[in-house]
Structure 1
Amino acid sequence: MSRIVVDPITRIEGHLRIEAQVENGVVADAWSSATMWRGLEQILLGRDPRDAWYFAQRICGVCTTVHALASVRAVEDALGITPPRNARLLRDLIAATQYVHDHVVHFYHLHALDWVDVTSALKADPKKAAAVAQSISDYPLSTAGHFTAVQNRLAAFVKGGRLGPFASGYWGHPAYRLSPEVNLIATSHYLDALDFQREYVKIHAILGGKNPHPQSYVVGGMTTPLDPSSPNALGDDALMQIRGLLQQGLDFVKQAYLPDLLAIAGAYPEWTTIGGGLTNFLSFGDFNAGPQPHHGPITDGVLPSGLVRDGNLTAVEKIDPTKITEEATHAWFTYSAGDGTALSPFDGESTASYTGPKPPYDHLDVEAKYSWLKSPRYDGLPVEVGPLARVAIAYGRRDERFTPLVDSSLKALGVGPQALFSTLGRTLARGLETVVLAEHAVTLLDALRDNIGTGDLRIADSELFDPSTWPRSARGVGFHEAPRGGLSHWIVIGDEKIENYQAVVPTTWNAGPRDAAGHRGAYEAALVGTPLADPKRPLEILRTVHSFDPCMACAAHVLDADGQPVVEVRVQ
């Protein structure tokens, strides 16, 4: 038995270390450690709640708009504010397009290289590749000429030594199984996806002024002016431009992303039985036409809410937010009431006061504290959040949007519903919900145009911004199903200032360490049982970890032991 270390995990956002105990070529145990620490939650203390979203949005430059949305929802929940319909539609449109952009980027640029051997593409026959591509979709760039050009471009990369994102891969690893032709198709679409994301993200620039971090949010609504006839507002011309971009995105998802995903999955059938992990799933729900219920998740939306225990899809439970807690038993924190205490996020503590071993280290002290992440729990239960959780809950509820997609995909792969509880199931779920959200984005745009067409141009309720109308003390929570999973921002307001602020983010749910009872987090549980063909090149560990799409920047928000900045940069 030996322990291997993968540090850092690449092709993610932030700093993640995985240690795995390997026995007879299989992972017998695993530990997930976030090795980065930051200070976002402490920075918000004492500030005006109306400014919280602007700071909270900077938690991450990849997840970008999701923290702004959860933050404004938290403040609105605390103060009893309901944004106008136009504002809610705009927010949902930005969120839905964030999903499509984020999931496409994840599949091609962060995860696909776990399955695709780029160097093998140099051996492909472009004519055979075109025949394969044309047999699985009507994507317009599936021609022998196009694949020949891509192959020549790739050969030039190799000859010039400019491998860029393809450098330092595990090329030639025995766990790669795709034919040279499918490898060429996927590599070609990898490059196409770079063009896709550059164009599709223009939607955020139109609606929010920029990306990342759109600037158009405000507590009580949005700041985007609406006027069908004005060139200086969101009018007919801009809406038609957005419609064109939405259609391009939907076409790419249906013609390239989903067919590629199914083609790759078909070559790795054993991965429908590897990486299932916890099989406890949580979703807050999202994309409901109405406002968020007070202190509650958004139920009955396009993304449904619920809890699944032990993979039982026939008994989806309702969510009770009061059952959400965070522990710090194995995190580099010390709670004032004791490390094993389970705190509601309203009472959460984010100041590091632990003085024991921290990086650098040879191996983690896994019997003590080994991560900058806390351990979120629902009713004491470790859960997985994200695309697989949402699709599993939707499928369990026989949701009309998801059920046909799931059934047809499982049939194409020749597997049953249990295959969802796996590394490939997690990857498939992300692709399926991309189709649903790409379609829903068009629906949202039509709803916005129709509402504007009635003469309703309201975008914010400014009369609610006056702090003199606020209660002396208030608390609120903003829920949002971000692309990586269930996100919630918790705020406590006193005398018009922020007294406490906690962000419980998807990657903390999934990447967090063991709790006081010794229960593994989602990453740790999913890695157990993973076979390794070559422990010195643990490609299989990357496959499962990447299937969650880690974002460590979102997950870790603390200061040093004395509450002081770790680094200070001055401009002379």
Structure 2
Amino acid sequence: MAKIVIDPITRIEGHLRIEAEVNNGKVSDAWSSSTMFRGIEKILKTRDPRDAWFFTQRFCGVCTTVHSIASIRAVENALNIKIPANAELIRNIIIGIQNVQDHVIHFYHLHALDWVDITSGLKADPAKTAALAASISDWPLNSATYFRGVQEKLKAFVAKGRLGPFANAYWGHPAYRLPPEANLMATAHYLEALEWQKDVIKIHAILGSKNPHPQTFLVGGMAIAIDPDSQNALNADKLMEIKRLLAKAREFVEKVYIPDLLAVASFYKEWAGIGGGVGNFLSYGDFPQPGSGQLWMPSGAIMGKDLSKVIPVSHEKVTEYVDHSWYEYSGGAGKGLHPWEGESEHKYSGPKPPFKNLDTDGKYSWVKAPRYEDQPMEVGPLARLLVAYASGHKEVKGAVDGVLHKLGVGPEALFSTLGRTAARGIDCLLIAQETPKWLDQLIDNIGKGDYKVHNNEKWDPATWPAEAAGYGWHEAPRGALGHWIKIKDQKILNYQAVVPSTWNASPRDAKGLRGPYEAALVGTPLADPNKPLEILRTIHSFDPCLACAVHVFDASGNEMVKVNVL
């Protein structure tokens, strides 16, 4: 029995370590460990609740809007503040383009190299690459001349011996399946996506003054003024620029991302049976529809992969355990706390770095173990689409069925690494198609003379109750995000955030139940234990995001080989 340690996992956000036992060429057990402590919740105590969003943005440098939205919604929920329709629509547009940009970046720059062998593209015939690209899309750059130019750039890059972001990967690994032409096509689109995302995210600069971390969020609405006669406000010129950028975002998703996703997936259909995970899925739902009280993307939970039943979600059923986390609860071990009562008292009891292995029988992660009705839950685009699909969401059902038909697989294929990757693409497509509709609604409201973007009725803390508690939910690109707040005497008494990667990267709980990463890795085949590409495929399908090295150990814990990995 060999033990593999990957620390840190690369191309993710933050610091993640995976330890896995391997028997007969497959992962037989796995442990997920976050190796960095985050303490912003402690920093927030005694501060003005209206300022919380500005601090919580800094939970992450990748999810640049999500904690702002969840935090503001938590305060609005606690104080029963209703926001104007225009503010809701502006938030939807900001959230929408964040999701679209994030999903495209994930596919090409964080996950694609698990499936695409960049250097194989050097062997490709540019004319055949152009024919392949033209067979799946009418994207205007599908020409032999264009792909030949990309190939020449790649040759020059490799010849210099400085591969930059493409260095240290497992090029030539036996688990790669794409022909050279498909690899060249994907490499070209990798480079295109870098330029594309720089442009479309300008929407955040228009509506939020900057990116990352837009500055115009506000409890009660938004802080961006609407005035057709002012160059310093949201006017007709800026609205038309947003419309142009949304059209550009949608075109790339429809004509590049989705065709590439289907082309790559068609070579890896066996991954529709790998990486299933815990089988329970949670979505908070999102994109409020002004005036209707409904969410465009519905909330719900699915247990045991049963798509015949969507369970309504209640925030009261969320708890967090720390039996295998480097925290201590005042009530002792074996107890799960609701986030309103949550504690973040850390007590590191692990080995001192550098170390070989964690104490996986004891505490081994800075991530807590969130549970819904005491069950581990997967969150993310797959959970979001499964809940919507099972709820009868028309657009979701049509898109999911269409992709499954093109791949020649059934709905059961969704419960897998491949299904998780496909779900992110479908989610991106649907949001890219829906976001322009929210812009049209905003333009229509403005045309009718409605410029209101903020409700200031409860802006004065003197109007607040002595004590209040609230929660804010958001479907971030990576999944169900919740912020919980307690307010006393106009100050924050307690604050807890349960983020998507807390759900997915969860260690064992008090009952010994694995978290989603851990469960998804069990049964994963490894062609070469010294180059555990397959582990990266499944972990990246959840979209955690950073970079560093891999360590591989034998059964007795001795280092066998040490390799850098992209």
TM-score by length of 2: 0.95
- Secondary structure at the counterpart of residue 464 of structure 1: coil
Contact 1:82–1:291 (Cα < 8 Å) also in 2: no
Match of residue 459 from structure 2: 465
Equivalent position to 1:520, from 514, 523, 532: 514
Is 2:139 aligned against 1:139? yes
Matches of 2:33 and 2:133, distance apart in 1: 40
Specify the alignment match of 2:562 in structure 1.
none
When residues 529 and 131 of structure 1 are mapped into structure 2, their CA distance, relative to the original with a 3 A threshold, is same
**Mapping of residues 441-460 of structure 1, within 5 Å:** 441-460=435-454
Change over 3 Å in CA distance of 1:31–1:356 after alignment to 2? closer
Determine helix, strand or coil for the equivalent of 1:288.
strand
Distance 2:348 2:545 in 1: 24
Residues 414-448 of structure 1: per-residue CA shift (max 9 Å, x gap): 11000000001000000001011001110110011
Are 2:395 and 1:401 equivalent residues in the alignment?
Answer: yes
- Compare 484-493 and 300-309 and name the one that shifted more: 300-309
* Paired residues of 2:350 and 2:364 also in contact (CA < 8 A): no
> How far off its partner does 1:477 sit?
0.2
Secondary structure at the counterpart of residue 298 of structure 2: strand
Is 1:533 paired with 2:492? no
SS of 1:322's equivalent in the other structure is helix
Please list the CA deviations of residues 136-170 of structure 1 after superposition, one character each: whole Å capped at 9, or x if unmatched: 01111111011000000111111112211101010
Cα gap change, 1:138/1:379 in structure 2, threshold over 3 Å: closer, same or farther? same
1:382 aligns with 2:365: no
Matched, 1:278 2:272: no
| 1:329-372: CA deviation from partner (whole Å, max 9, x where unpaired) | 10000111012111000000012134454544211111000000
From the superposition, tell whether residues 292 and 38 of structure 1 become closer, same or farther in structure 2 (CA, over 3 Å): farther
Query: Partners of 2:500 and 2:292 in 1: how far apart?
Result: 19
Structure 2 CA distance for partners of 1:291 and 1:323, relative to 1, 3 Å? farther
Cα drift, residue 302 of structure 1: 2.2
User: 1:442 & 1:229 partners in 2: Cα distance?
Assistant: 23
For 1:76-87, list aligned pairs within 5 A. Answer: 76-87=76-87
Q: Judging changes above 3 Å, is the alpha-carbon distance between structure 1 residues 355 and 21 closer, same or farther for their aligned structure 2 residues?
A: closer
Superposition deviation, residue 530 in structure 1 = 0.2
- Residue matched to 1:55: 55
Structure 2: tracts of 5 or more residues without a match: 548-566
- Give the equivalent residue in structure 2 for 1:310: 304
- Specify the code of the residue in structure 2 equivalent to 1:176: Y
Q: Distance in 2 between matches of 1:551 and 1:51?
A: 27
Question: Is 1:239 paired with 2:247?
Answer: no
Is 1:122 aligned to 2:88, yes or no?
no
* Residue deviations 1:498-527 (CA, integer Å, cap 9, x gap): 010000000000001000101000000000
Give the direction of change, closer, same or farther, for the CA distance of 1:126–1:171 in structure 2 (3 Å limit): same
**Is 1:391 aligned to residue 380 of structure 2?**
no
Q: 1:289 and 1:398 mapped to 2: Cα distance?
A: 18
Match of 1:566 in 2: none
Q: Which residue of 2 aligns with 1:113?
A: 113
In 1, distance between residues paired with 2:291 and 2:44? Answer: 25
Alignment of 1:437 with 2:431, yes or no, is yes
Q: Distance in 1 between matches of 2:291 and 2:532?
A: 45
CA contact (8 A) 1:326 1:343 kept: yes
Contact 2:11 2:545 in 1 (8 A): no
For the structure 1 residues 187 and 489, does the alpha-carbon distance in structure 2 shift closer, same or farther, using more than 3 Å as the test? same
Distance 1:450 1:519, change over 3 A: same
Aligned partner letter, 2:169: G
2:225 counterpart residue number: 225
Amino acid at match of 2:315: P
Alignment-derived partner of residue 33 in structure 1 = 33
Match of 1:21 in 2: 21
Q: Secondary structure at the match of 1:257?
A: helix
Which residue matches 2:258? 258
Does 2:172 correspond to 1:188?
no
Q: 2:415 aligns with which of 421, 438, 442?
A: 421
Per-residue deviation at 1:269?
A: 1.0
Structure 1 residue 95 displacement after superposition:
0.3
The structural deviation recorded for 1:394 is 1.4
Structure 1 residues 551 and 378, CA gap change in structure 2 (3 angstroms): farther
- Say which is worse superposed, 35-44 or 483-492, in terms of deviation: 35-44
Amino acid at match of 1:305: S
Q: 1:96 to 1:443 in 2, by over 3 A?
A: same
Task: Specify the SS of the correspondent of 2:204.
Answer: helix
**Cα contact 1:35–1:359 (8 A) shared by 2:** no
Describe the SS at the equivalent of 1:72: helix
Partner of 1:488 in structure 2? 482
Residue 410 of structure 1 is aligned with which of 404, 410, 414?
404
1:330 matched residue in structure 2: 324
Partner residue in 1 for 2:550: none
Deviations 1:518-539 (A, max 9, x none): 1000000000000000000000
In the alignment, residue 426 of structure 1 is paired with which amino acid? R
The amino acid across from 1:368 in the alignment is: G
Distance in 2 of aligned mates of 1:496 and 1:406: 46
- Asked if structure 2 preserves the Cα contact closer than 8 Å seen for 1:288 and 1:301, the reply is yes
1: CA distance between counterparts of 2:464 and 2:296? 32
Structural RMSD (CA): 1.3
Q: Contact 1:108–1:190 at 8 Å: present in 2 too?
A: yes
Post-superposition offset of 1:291: 8.3
Partner in structure 2 of residue 546 of structure 1: 540
Q: Aligned with 1:256: secondary structure?
A: helix
1:499 to 493, 502, 527: 493
Q: Secondary structure at the match of 1:353?
A: coil
- Rounded to whole Å, the distance in 1 between the matches of 2:281 and 2:445 is 36
The one-letter code of the counterpart of 2:543 is D
Partner of 1:319: 313
Q: 1:408, CA displacement in angstroms?
A: 1.2
Which letter does structure 1 place at the counterpart of 2:511? A
* Structure-2 residue corresponding to 1:74: 74
With over 3 angstroms needed to count, the CA separation of the structure-2 counterparts of 1:67 and 1:551, relative to structure 1, is: farther
The letter of the residue matching 2:281 is F
CA shift digits 1:112-154 (9 cap, x unpaired): 0000000000000000000000000111111101100000011
Partners of 1:507 and 1:551 within 8 A in 2: no
Structure 2 counterpart of 1:412, one-letter code: K
1:23-58 Cα offsets, whole Å, 9 max, x none, are 000000000000011221111011000100000011
TM-score normalised by length of structure 1: 0.94
Q: Is the Cα contact below 8 Å between 1:358 and 1:370 reproduced in 2?
A: no
Structure 1: how far apart are the matches of 2:502 and 2:171?
A: 31
Contact 2:125–2:181 (CA under 8 A) maintained in structure 1:
yes
- Against the structure 1 CA distance between its residues 178 and 483, is the aligned structure 2 distance closer, same or farther, given a 3 Å change threshold? same
Instruction: Write the distance in 1 (CA, Å) between the matches of 2:317 and 2:143.
Output: 54
